[in-house]
Structure 1
């Protein structure tokens, strides 16, 4: 019983009444809580899948990710319809109040928060009932640690010092909410430890129904990449070399475009190259859902809606928001490795962009349409994107939705990173030469092979160009230029030639800490210099 006191007026007199009533504030014992829900294999698996779903939230792979780093790395340039946040990116004219920065930061930390739930609950709330569940437990924790490492990998490269949230706290204190930024070395240490743990807990392969989940190879690849970014060349070499040996069976996709074509990219025979990709329609019961979910309706519009908008937004016969830069196009023409006095047009151009015959770009589209191939209208369209497009199958799209997965790490990238690890240690001999030539000798490319890489400086020039050509439009170049320390000079030189601007400033080597984070975390706000980072 709970006592209550009433005050009421009657006849001008104040009457006080004291009585009792039943306490109706009862706990719903059937409601799920943090303590009671995550106690089974199925529940932990759902939490893992929800962590993957963060990869397709605003600021990341559903839409903003490819715009952000294709534009900043100057693989892409804006067409006139490009407006708002995206135009500010294209012009390097943005600050901490840019929505895309906040979305990027928030979605990466959302992945971290969900990963922390999985790690905590899988270890402390769920008691596996048998050997199969014990194996699943190790896998789920490994997946969560891989995804947490992936998120921190992006955060430390984009923002430098960031708060380290390593556990889920249901009712955090003000001090736990207002965590300070940790030193960059501490962030890298967590990334390394998470990936080392993930490597031990993840399987080499999955059954077809679970295709797309992080594997042991994905953990090895991201760890090797992390060492490379930290300039730990020897450790990078050791880790990346693992992927060229048993038990791993990665190989280059014989047809380059099978990496970017639905459904061939999900066929291990046609595409044995993918190590980790962001899966659109990741799970068997997930579909396109609402086609406009990627404009902010994740997990609210159409339920399990996961897809990318890149095909529609980049498409030359659709929204045509961006071009491939003339700079990127020209990179595909360079001195023939076996006859440097003669220029050579790299065959990867025809898999990367639409253009004219002289540029090496694809000159036809709709090859699989019922009407037959159609000549690409280069005279009116100029150079436009082919990679990640459906124009071999359709003349135009029906809406902003694409099931083509986003490549995060693939075997060609690993081979080139491994070659770089050798070169950075002063080895320009047979090992890096063979790795670079292996990428060039893909059957659908079959480019002339190098007979020598020359000096360390010459070898790095070759390696840099090879990465640019192989990974154009895969959000790689921006990160490469930043870590090589040549972003400002390279971007400004290219932009000066192409549009008469030099937009890259010294501060652009890091993103600004988002305004929303500064408003929410006073400790971080006090640690920011010049309203940037």
Structure 2
């Protein structure tokens, strides 16, 4: 679906709201709308909500590019970025200057989503002619989405300015940073309302919207960040009690465009095959550059490829062959055939232009893409729910139960279960190993999860072959727990009330 809604509210300029994927409510296009003739009908309210979902489609928000690839997996060192652009090298080398354009874009994208959410929350709440149940649903979805953007901000930057109301030309824009605790409190409040209001599932054209289980899943994640272990257990058990989600039998099937919004997905960004922003570039960013277009489609860039040392971490059989089905379901290496495009076989000697490491991730590439891809990007899935639940159980003295959950992940991967009588530290190591092998090129399982537990530096020391070149001792910002990113210089240029995080300058 390709609809655009434009309105002039209290933004300083007209804001264009794009629709979200092929599963959302069809909207009638409207030209420039003013305060006087917008937010009058349910259609207006739904259109404004759709505009928040549209922000998720941007590469700087939740499309698994800037977050999952550029930041999470490349900083942890398990993925290699083929272009070597300066802004990416800064992140991968952990230099983290305040003028890094990727961090700037992620920061700005989150606040753009928050701004739209605040408009919907304020305006729709004030509408008097809406069915109360529909009104509550729209506001709850907006609050879920606002919490998603604030979760991104607080996990990367710590305390940030809290903006909870619509801003206009008379608003004070020099807003000081709130504490991280205050940001987490807003996130929890929004998520609790969403969890209490939204259904566990949607049907028909509404499939893909925020659900109560997605809200509960993010309450778990927020609890883990704050080490509220009992809360994380409670919310995890509420998800499981709905019987809404489960692991799919076959790992690859989780990511198929033909199987999107499946039982394992709690929330994903919705896309459809399109030449515009309704589609994404993930097939282009996956498929090896220089490979025949009959296999790759309109373009192939192989931007992000798995590192050899990550491949080496897979468990092997006695003959030295990888036995983990996750590898065979979403990775191809030298001499190996694509899982779906059987005629495509990686050369025995992979050209450096195809992949500097010799490997390609195929999670998001199941067929050639003649235009932009329609594959959805997973944001939260049940495999993470199980590992998050296991982590919380381990911290509350239930390590054996935690290992039972870890073994569910391992069983699907075709691996032998591990002993359930491991010590607490060994259980945590087992959980983080499964995160590493399960979530390559997803927005979890790498930098942020390692960072919130203070494991990032020890992980890269043990696993990044270039660790010595990173000169960690010369980068004091890496000594904080958790590691925080620098507040972007451009944000400070617009808001002089911002204080920089320790060890950085504007």
TM-score (norm 2): 0.83
Q: Indicate the RMSD between aligned Cα atoms, in angstroms.
A: 2.5
The aligned residue for residue 519 of structure 1 is: 493
Alignment of 1:16-27 (within 5 A): none
The aligned residue for residue 502 of structure 1 is: 470
Structure 1 residue corresponding to 2:402, chosen from 432, 457, 469: 432
Structure 2 SS opposite 1:365: coil
Confirm or deny: 8 A CA contact 1:324 1:384 kept in the other structure. Answer: yes
**Superposed CA offset, 1:284-335 (max 9, x none):** xxx6233xxxxxxxxxxxxxx222212212322321223201222122126x
2:211 paired with 1:215 = yes
**Superposed CA offset, 1:334-359 (max 9, x none):** 6x8xx9x99973221112321258xx
**Superposed CA offset, 1:68-101 (max 9, x none):** 322112221123x332322332322341111111
**Superposed CA offset, 1:461-489 (max 9, x none):** 11111111111221321111101102123
Alignment of 1:415-494 (within 5 A): 415-429=386-400, 431-442=401-412, 445-476=413-444, 477-494=446-463
Structure 1 SS opposite 2:350: helix
Separation (CA, whole Å) in 2 of partners of 1:93 and 1:252: 38
Structure 1 residue corresponding to 2:304, chosen from 296, 301, 322: 322
Alignment of 1:296-307 (within 5 A): 305-307=277-279
Q: Residues 209 and 180 (structure 1 numbering): CA distance in 2 closer, same or farther, change over 3 Å?
A: same
Q: Residues 503 and 46 (structure 1 numbering): CA distance in 2 closer, same or farther, change over 3 Å?
A: farther
Q: Between Structure 1 and Structure 2, how many residues are aligned?
A: 452
The aligned residue for residue 403 of structure 1 is: 374
Confirm or deny: 8 A CA contact 2:286 2:362 kept in the other structure. Answer: no
Structure 2 residue corresponding to 1:365, chosen from 325, 328, 338: 338
Return the structure number with greater strand share: 1
Separation (CA, whole Å) in 1 of partners of 2:468 and 2:38: 58
The aligned residue for residue 360 of structure 1 is: none
Confirm or deny: 8 A CA contact 1:492 1:502 kept in the other structure. Answer: no
Shift of 1:528: 5.1
TM-score (norm 1): 0.79
The aligned residue for residue 267 of structure 2 is: 276
Structure 1 residue corresponding to 2:162, chosen from 161, 164, 172: 164
Confirm or deny: 8 A CA contact 1:76 1:324 kept in the other structure. Answer: yes
The aligned residue for residue 5 of structure 1 is: none
The aligned residue for residue 301 of structure 1 is: none
The aligned residue for residue 85 of structure 2 is: 83
The aligned residue for residue 254 of structure 1 is: 249
Which segments of 5 or more consecutive residues in structure 1 lack a partner in the other structure?
1-29, 282-286, 291-304, 358-362
Confirm or deny: 8 A CA contact 1:92 1:503 kept in the other structure. Answer: no
Structure 2 residue corresponding to 1:96, chosen from 92, 95, 98: 98
Q: Residues 398 and 68 (structure 1 numbering): CA distance in 2 closer, same or farther, change over 3 Å?
A: farther
2:288 paired with 1:288 = no
